[in-house]
Structure 1
Amino acid sequence: MSNPLSSLEVIALTKKHNYGTWRKQKNWNPSHLLSADGCYFTDGDGKRFLDFSSQLMCMNLGHNNPAVIQSIQDQASTLAYAAPFYATTARAELSKLLLDVLPPGMTKFFFTTSGTDANEAAFKIARMYTGKTKIISRYRSYHGSTSSSIAATGDPRRWPIEPSGKGHGVIFSPEVNCYKCPIRHTYPQCGIACADYLEHMIANEGDVAAVLVEPVVGTNGVLIPPPEYFPKLRKICDDHGVLLIADEVMSGWGRTGKWFAIDNWGVQPDILTTAKGITSAYVPLGLCATTQKIADFFEENYFAHGHTYEAHPMTLAPAIATIHKMQRLGLIDRANEMGAYLGEKLHALKASHPSIGNVRGLGLFWAVELVKDQQAKRPFNTWQEKLDGKPILVEQIAARMLSKGVVMQAWMSHFVLAPPLIVEKAQIDEAVAALDEALILADALLEAEPALI
């Protein structure tokens, strides 16, 4: 037996032979994650960290849940793989459970291995069903890294790999951001002008198959629409014969205090995509769900999609265990209870830090946005600086928090706070205290360089 690798060897081999995502490779210095449990993980040096963003906003049950791990082991010992044209017990049991937790009316399922795959399936289904081509997405959105999904991504991660040629057919509308409206309106006097703008696009583009939205925008700032937005958007789509696709890859599975974020507005999408929390990210699984009306169309029309790992039993079994565990622990209610406590702490933090422009959230899904000054709402850094690999202030603050034993996802001008749904109040206090201390970097910059304001 060979000697185990040291932590330094693990890091060196990883960096030399693997690609780090969304970055210049010379700047990648990964930590060695050795083990994890609950809301914490431990690195190769034995240091313990509070995981306050659930890795990539996906481990809603936290790390090392015994029931989910057991389900993986049991499935592996029974049936490790089945081609997608077979029925399996795991497939049937998960389908039955999904009818209970998905928004009412979502009755037909295509299983994938990631969120981006789920969105690829949604685009194909929408185009086959409607006979139309174009997808309207929104700026400040992220829908995945595969060809069509990155084409539908509004944020500048799309820029270096912008797909060319025919076939992608994506156009972009303004995001819903009442803190800093891209079309410079003020809610509620605006009358939900961002939805009106989208309707204008549908009417003038023609050939629009679907509107694609994150009900609560994820990485790009936890943007929460006003209560009138989704009912209005649903009516616009219905009036124009356009499908509504809800991308719940990040916002689903209890994250916003409902099983799915769209449930906060009582609106039924035509297609719903999700991944991440469906297995608490223990294994890769995505889902594309449709209404029965869409399903009925394919009874007599060819369904032109599929892949080897569709409905892989090793991915389905842990989804069953995850849903059962969430139900037993009452994690939907807990997300609301702990989310209210976290929100109270973050609003108090804003009152004491002039660098915080906005605090917003639902359930256990929150963002803290930093600005050079609260009135102008200008961010400290630009997208081009990030793409160029220059130091970003939020990343420096996150590094300071890391030294205090707290991990929080930093993105451009904000932090995404999305701890496991099992988080305790003491852990929320620990994370907020670390953020409070680290924000001295932003506050000091305002004081030291007032010309920036």
Structure 2
Amino acid sequence: MSPTDTAASQALTSQQVVDLTRQYNYGTWRFQRNWNPMHIADAEGCYLIDGSGKRYLDFSSQLMCSNLGHKNQAVIDAIAHQAQQLSYAMPGYATTARAELSQLLAEILPKGLRKFFFTTSGTEANEAAFKIARMYTGKSKIIARYRSYHGSTIGSIAATGDPRRWAMEPGGKGPGVIFAPEVNCYKCPIRHTYPGCNIACADYIEHMIRNESDVAAVLVEPIVGTNGVLVPPDEYMPKLRRICDENGVLLIADEVMTGWGRTGEWFAMNHWSVIPDILVTAKGITSAYVPLGLCATSEKIAEFFQDHFFSHGHTYEAHPITLAPAVACIHEMQRLNLVERARELAPYVEAKLNDLKSKHRSIGDVRGKGLFWAVDMVKDRTTKEPFNTYADKVSGKSLVVDQIAAKMLADGVTIQAWVSHFVIAPPLIVTKEEIDRGIATLDKHLTIADEAASPS
């Protein structure tokens, strides 16, 4: 028997792949007993392909990260070429991939962000941001917001406002993290109404800064991601920038999800012409072909470390195989005009989703920018009561959005469902026909929620 025949005889069936995965691996953010992962064997364009060959429209870019779509040949070639040329160099060395990517980043990032620390995830990039902010300011406290997610390591989960933090408390709530209200004009947590509120949620942060000692930074997702695609009013970010400046506090923008064209700008902060002191990103930087994160800092922070010890690092910082595909990804986004495409498709998606809202009493709100949208599901439009809460999720209760997502999956469309809303964020190469298909599939199965909703 030849080696090829031996390999073929030992090939795993699709069911064996699923069974072995369940047996040996943890499923994230879930009970393990009922985990039955689908075997993804291939992917191309805007589609995932399972072990039986069935194709699924990837309507949320998996975890809002596959911005360029799947199987882009230029990115694949960059990975292969770098692996053949130089598979690893420790962070203390300079590499061509590192220099090329850094030069591109200096052109694409908001002006003034000129010094970079590379990581292998968004959560690690946030950890770097926290340490840099504390080293630079000599202060310790980070103000984050509720309805936020910044990662799962001990520092980033401590700065996460959503209930995924709860399992780590009290020990997991790191020292010096305090929480402010999120920006949510649909359902304001401090019960104000825009625009008459004069952006009271930003004023609240200023009140916190002035009544807390030792505040190093304010940490925000420019547009909240997993927790509902919460888009701030246009006045919010400039006002927050002014508050930070007037109080000697750094502003950290977590653009792990909103970066790389997702919202119709290279970075979401560009919508408001606001430059943060530190910008954190990941996901779309390589369209998730390889794991890469970035912590970018301002010139003033970079200058500080000329004569102050930079006390941070890890083995895989600036790993060349992670950097080379990022260069290719940026060039491909430029070649395909994907930032502009996300911006141009936004009105089309918005109109389609508003039509959906007019048909279904279970939709309370739709909101977003570019190709980054949420469909907020409510039991009662008047009270804005959601179908489910995080407590339902951790108790194992069947969630309405999960029921709908399962029906959509059976019809060949994957969508991210979280507690009581959907995140719609297809790859930026998506066509109008594919948008139509995804929304039509959601439309078809929203009857599940409509039947459980209160009459209008």
TM-score range, shorter-chain basis? over 0.9
TM-score w.r.t. length of structure 2: 0.97
CA displacement 1:26-79 (0-9 Å, x = unmatched): 121100000010000110121110000001000000001000000000000000
One-letter identity of the residue aligned with 1:36: A
Question: How far apart are residue 168 of structure 1 and its match?
Answer: 3.0
Q: Which residue of 2 aligns with 1:33?
A: 40
Measured in 2, the distance between the counterparts of 1:200 and 1:308 equals 40
Match of 2:83 among 70, 76, 80: 76
CA displacement 1:277-300 (0-9 Å, x = unmatched): 000000000000000100000000
Match of 1:316 among 316, 319, 323: 323
Which range is displaced more, 157-166 or 206-215?
Answer: 157-166
Match of 2:248 among 241, 250, 264: 241
Helix, strand or coil at the partner of 1:26: coil
Q: Does 1:132 align with 2:139?
A: yes
Q: Which residue of 2 aligns with 1:269?
A: 276
Q: Which residue of 2 aligns with 1:293?
A: 300
Question: How far apart are residue 165 of structure 1 and its match?
Answer: 7.6
Match of 1:329 among 326, 333, 336: 336
Question: How far apart are residue 163 of structure 1 and its match?
Answer: 5.2
Measured in 2, the distance between the counterparts of 1:29 and 1:339 equals 34
Measured in 2, the distance between the counterparts of 1:43 and 1:243 equals 45
Q: Which residue of 2 aligns with 1:338?
A: 345
Q: Does 1:303 align with 2:316?
A: no
Helix, strand or coil at the partner of 2:317: coil
Match of 2:408 among 401, 406, 416: 401
* Structure 1 contact 112–286 (Cα < 8 Å) conserved: yes
Match of 2:31 among 21, 24, 33: 24
CA displacement 1:98-128 (0-9 Å, x = unmatched): 0111011000000000000000000000000
Q: Does 1:63 align with 2:70?
A: yes
Q: Within 5 Å, which residues of 2 pair with 1:13-162?
A: 13-162=20-169
Match of 1:173 among 160, 180, 183: 180
Helix, strand or coil at the partner of 1:27: coil
CA displacement 1:173-221 (0-9 Å, x = unmatched): 0000000000000000000000000100000011000000000000000
Question: How far apart are residue 383 of structure 1 and its match?
Answer: 1.0
Measured in 2, the distance between the counterparts of 1:384 and 1:146 equals 22
Helix, strand or coil at the partner of 1:111: strand
Match of 1:260 among 267, 289, 292: 267
* Structure 2 contact 244–251 (Cα < 8 Å) conserved: yes
Q: Does 1:206 align with 2:210?
A: no
Q: Which residue of 1 aligns with 2:426?
A: 419
Question: How far apart are residue 320 of structure 1 and its match?
Answer: 0.1
One-letter identity of the residue aligned with 1:268: I
* Structure 1 contact 371–413 (Cα < 8 Å) conserved: yes
Measured in 2, the distance between the counterparts of 1:165 and 1:269 equals 27
Q: Which residue of 2 aligns with 1:376?
A: 383
CA displacement 1:339-388 (0-9 Å, x = unmatched): 22111100111011000000001000000001011111000011111011
Q: Return 5+ residue gaps in structure 1 as ranges.
A: none
Match of 2:237 among 227, 230, 237: 230
One-letter identity of the residue aligned with 1:99: A
Q: Which residue of 2 aligns with 1:441?
A: 448
Question: How far apart are residue 167 of structure 1 and its match?
Answer: 5.2
Measured in 2, the distance between the counterparts of 1:263 and 1:421 equals 18
* Structure 2 contact 158–173 (Cα < 8 Å) conserved: no
Equivalenced residues, count: 449
Measured in 2, the distance between the counterparts of 1:357 and 1:72 equals 44
Match of 1:5 among 9, 12, 15: 12
Q: Which residue of 1 aligns with 2:3?
A: none
Question: How far apart are residue 162 of structure 1 and its match?
Answer: 2.3
* Structure 1 contact 134–170 (Cα < 8 Å) conserved: yes
Q: Which residue of 2 aligns with 1:352?
A: 359
* Structure 1 contact 151–163 (Cα < 8 Å) conserved: no
Helix, strand or coil at the partner of 2:380: coil
CA displacement 1:129-187 (0-9 Å, x = unmatched): 00000000000000000010000000000101125288531000000000000000000
* Structure 2 contact 157–172 (Cα < 8 Å) conserved: no
Q: Which residue of 2 aligns with 1:280?
A: 287
One-letter identity of the residue aligned with 2:176: G
Q: Aligned in 2, Cα 1:341/1:434: closer, same or farther, shift over 3 Å?
A: same
* Structure 2 contact 229–423 (Cα < 8 Å) conserved: yes
Match of 1:361 among 365, 368, 375: 368
Question: How far apart are residue 446 of structure 1 and its match?
Answer: 2.3
Helix, strand or coil at the partner of 1:319: helix
Measured in 2, the distance between the counterparts of 1:96 and 1:63 equals 26
Q: Return 5+ residue gaps in structure 2 as ranges.
A: 1-5
- Quote the sequence identity (%): 69
One-letter identity of the residue aligned with 2:274: V
Measured in 1, the distance between the counterparts of 2:270 and 2:213 equals 29
CA displacement 1:237-278 (0-9 Å, x = unmatched): 001100000000000000000000111000010000000000
Measured in 1, the distance between the counterparts of 2:390 and 2:15 equals 32
Helix, strand or coil at the partner of 1:25: coil
* Structure 1 contact 247–273 (Cα < 8 Å) conserved: yes
Measured in 1, the distance between the counterparts of 2:109 and 2:426 equals 22
One-letter identity of the residue aligned with 2:76: I
One-letter identity of the residue aligned with 2:291: P
CA displacement 1:304-328 (0-9 Å, x = unmatched): 0000000000000000000000001
